[in-house]
Chain A
Amino acid sequence: MLWRAHHLINRKTTFDFLGKRRVALIASTVINILSIVGVFTFGLNFGIDFEGGIAIQVRAKQGDIHLENLRATTGGLGVGEVALQEFGDKKSALIRVQRQDGSNECVAHADHVMKKRAGGGWAVMPGAADTGDVTFTSPSTLDSTGWRDAVSTVGLTLQDRQLPRANTNTATIDMTHEQRAEWCQQVAIKVVEDAIGGEYELRGTESVGPKIGEELMHSGIIAVLATLGAICVYVWVRFEWQFGVAALIALLHDVISTIGLFVILHLDFSLTALAAVLTIAGYSINDTVVIFDRVRENMRRYRKMSLIDLLNLSINETLARTLMTSGTVFVAVLALVLFGGPVLYSFSVAMLWGVIVGAYSSVWVASACLVYMKVRPEQLVGKAEDEKAKA
């Protein structure tokens, strides 16, 4: 019984999809407005890729992790806001520390780290107030190698010209405020390391400085806009401008509602999440193009049919394909959600949503838009005949 082809979707469906376009329009609008409002009121839970800051994956050396204890320890370190979450299993957690701003407090942290790691006699002080300079004082006279080794325990490099003058024990590393802020991420990692290193094993650390975070955010927005624009132009060139606009609206719908999903589920919006958004844009257009393709074909065939009937017919004819193609990707992504592990979780959940919303939007958003834009069959037919004449 199983060993033959099954028609999972009835061959000839005659649903009146576009008859319900008003309901769909209202639902889509509400979802999208809620998504946008959600982003502005609750904000996206940006990962460190975009916001800068530190993420440390830890695992308890013995037994399960006690988030409460861990929270108490890390909360009192003075490195700003610390967020904790279970990560993968009960023994592992992800510690998120906010982006460090390079204040004098960070230099005080560096002083503690230095005293602990290089020896009690060391002192680290901020330099002149209008710069980001940091001054190191050693307990004894050292040669240049000794100085470099010592300074590198807090993650700084010492240039030859910054070495102390003969017979002194003080070296100043000149930095701008921005450079100091970048360095302070390193300091904060060490502060956390020192505080929890006894009970927890640090499995992986990530730190993203303020500068790179802002850059990624910027280029990420550009990448999304460029993708939407390029796909819209592609559809426009292949079909008609109305189809291009309809595709663009459907894509915006998918992208915005996916971002809304991130707000509602409080998922981490990281680089991989952005990759999911872009992939959803590239994928959800597939079904739309398949339907548009059929619409064009039918417009040539049934010149007298009303637009709504024609769209309904095209959607019904392609329904099996739409659902089956979405189905294959859905099951593949489902495997990622179930087994892909914590790192890919946000990405996979977003993709899963994207597959569903992409199929929905090709029917009720992209096609419905064609109704409102009053595509006239003559335009397409005329164009097709022109092409034929040329050939």
Chain B
Amino acid sequence: MLNLPRWQTIAIIVITALAGLLALPNLLPNSIDNHLPAWYQASRINLGLDLRGGAYFLLEADLRGVMNERLTNLSDSVRGEMRKQQVAFKSVDVEAGRAVVLVLRDEAQRAKAIEGIRGLDPSLTIAGTGDTVRVGYADVDMVRKRKEVIDQSIEILRRRVDETGTIEPTIVRQGDDRILLQVPGIKDTTELKRKINQTAKLTFHLVDESVAATGQNVPAALPPTTFLVPTREGMQSLRAADPKKFDEIQSANPRLTPEQICRRYQPQCLPVFKRVVVGGEDLDDAKSTFEGQQNGGRPIISFSFNGAGGRAFCAATRANIGKRLAIQLDSEIISAPVVQSAICGGSGIITGQFTTQQTQEQALLLRSGALPATLTIIEERTVGADLGADAIHSGTVAALVGTAFVILFMLISYGPVFGGFASLAMFVNMLLVFAGMSVLGASLTLPGIAGLVLTVGMSVDSNVLIYERVREERANGRSPFSALATGYERALTAVIDSNLTALIAGVLLFGFGAGPIRGFATSLTLGLLTHLFTATIFTRMTLSIWVRWRRPTELPI
């Protein structure tokens, strides 16, 4: 029997209507589309880079380099610690990518050496035999660090590429050590690469308290060792008060020095000594945490230096307790905390009236002084906007002509009634695919359009299977009604079989899914899935409605 329970018929109609509603914004011309509410417009399918133009980069992070650098810093700390503990050693070497090897002069001091190293960082793995001590980072720690490096690189890339927040780049991790960066709408990648490379420069300076004590924001004369730098709050209130001036500063060419900004625009500024206490290149890490290691405490930022940075920082803080130490990022001072005590452990904290969000941001700013790892471009694709327009044009023409061919073919082969049903099922299938792509947030690419055209061709296949079987049953002498029901039923296994085998290929293709193939795999797989719905239950519904309405004595097939 072809008849469906009433609730199923209703469900099919509701699903189809919903799909139509979701797919509609894609079919309307722009002029109408622009009047729709924003949330509804959002169900438009994104166009892939090959259609809208833009750049695609696959970047590989040099994690081995990061690990070696980390080990080198560790070897500095080990060396320093041994001197402090007065343990005599022959050598401290870095075994690339694995460990720091310490060779002692006197085996007897091994326990003391290990003790000292453990004091540096309890999570280190330390193994000692004879006069040799091998120090390395634990595997868990390495994995965490690798993840951190990639996450950090992604954050930094996002900040740099999308300064204005309007470019909508796609930046995602891929595999263990890769980052996929897609930037729509740009043609000149030189500028983009420059942005990727540009880094914020981080430095620590002492505040010239003798000048600050005068209370003037921008004093007319300064000692030669001192210069003025605007504070972050100062710049932000300037931006709030006068956005035009702010833009002027940002776009000034050549770039204004911090002092020029202070003198011309008079934001809140601080006089600091020109001498750099420590530079950002010596900063190992910065993270947002809480005072007293628990969530009840105030949010603070903790940071750590490498060996050289730690020593310089120690000396400077010891000599300047009670004075302010300014942290300058690019041409702004992000904060100037008061030195409470000598900070000699190679790490310190920044306290202040921060919210958790602020400490997280600041920690990120500190960390993002430089990209944590060298990024190599291993794949690059750029598509000009006009090339994208060409692709849209040829894709659309091919899709429309393909659909027309198929409809014509079906109408000629099976007549207006059954050919019409097949075309209707195909049309509904297309609606479902479009709706599915909207919901999944998939983008439509040129290979994706090819996948759609194939779906058009394949989605009438099941109607063909059913119709041919109906013809056969009719020829075998069944009544029209019985021929329809039996034909449908017997063709169903073949319909499902053929869909499933094609789905196997589609899913594996998706798993393989490198770059341009993904779009093809998405639309094809989605098309096959929705087709399982239209081929079986939707076609059955149309046939059953038609039979009940016309009560045919002969099938026009």
Contact = CB atoms under 8 A, between A and B. Distances in A.
24 contacts: A3-B415, A6-B412, A8-B412, A49-B514, A148-B199, A153-B194, A156-B197, A157-B375, A159-B374, A161-B69, A175-B374, A186-B380, A211-B60, A235-B501, A279-B454, A281-B505, A317-B472, A328-B409, A329-B461, A331-B409, A339-B397, A339-B398, A340-B453, A347-B450
A219 B514 contact: yes
A320 B461 CA distance: 12
A5 B554 CA distance: 13
Of the listed residues B279, B517, B524, the one surrounded by the most CB atoms of chain A closer than 10 A to its CB is: B517
Contacts of A159: 370-371, 374
Contact of B406 (A185, A226, A279, A332): A332
Interface stretch (B123-131, B241-249, B262-270, B382-390): B382-390
Interface in B371-424: 371, 374-384, 386-387, 390-391, 394-395, 397-399, 401-406, 409-410, 412-416, 418-419
Contact of B384 (A182, A203, A208, A234): A203
Interface of A: 2-8, 11-12, 49, 57, 88, 144-145, 148-149, 151-153, 155-161, 163, 174-175, 179, 182-183, 185-186, 189, 202-209, 211-212, 216, 219-220, 222-223, 226-227, 230-231, 234-235, 238, 271-272, 274-275, 278-279, 281-283, 285-286, 289-290, 293, 317, 320-321, 324-325, 327-336, 338-341, 343-344, 347-348, 351
Interface in B471-520: 471-472, 475, 493-494, 497-498, 500-506, 508-509, 511-512, 514-517, 520
B281 interface: yes
B387 A272 contact: no
Contact of B197 (A148, A219, A286): A148
Given A279-B509, A347-B450, A152 B398 contact: no
B504 A148 contact: no
A275 B405 contact: no
Interface residues of B, number: 97
Given A320-B468, A331-B402, A340-B395, A227 B517 contact: no
B377 A186 contact: yes
B318 interface: no
Given A4-B415, A289-B497, A341-B395, A332 B457 contact: yes
Nearest to B455: A332
Contact of B370 (A7, A160, A211, A235): A160
A331 B406 contact: yes
Which of B281, B410, B418, B453 gathers most chain A CB within 10 Å?
B453
Interface in B177-195: 190, 193-194
Contact of B498 (A156, A289, A334, A336): A289
Given A3-B416, A324-B413, A339-B401, A157 B374 contact: yes
Contacts of A204: 381-384, 387
A296 B508 CA distance: 28
A306 B381 CA distance: 59
Interface of A is mostly: helix
Contacts of A179: 62, 374, 376
B117 interface: no
B397 A160 contact: no
Contacts of A219: 512, 514
B186 to A, nearest CB: 12
Contacts of B472: 317
Contacts of A351: 454
Contact of A212 (B379, B401, B402, B512): B379
B458 interface: yes
Contacts of B62: 179
B446 A182 contact: no
Return the 10 tightest CB-CB contacts between A and B, nearest first.
A282-B505, A332-B457, A341-B394, A335-B402, A5-B415, A329-B457, A286-B498, A160-B281, A331-B405, A223-B512
Contacts of B458: 283, 328-329
B380 A344 contact: no
B198 A333 contact: no
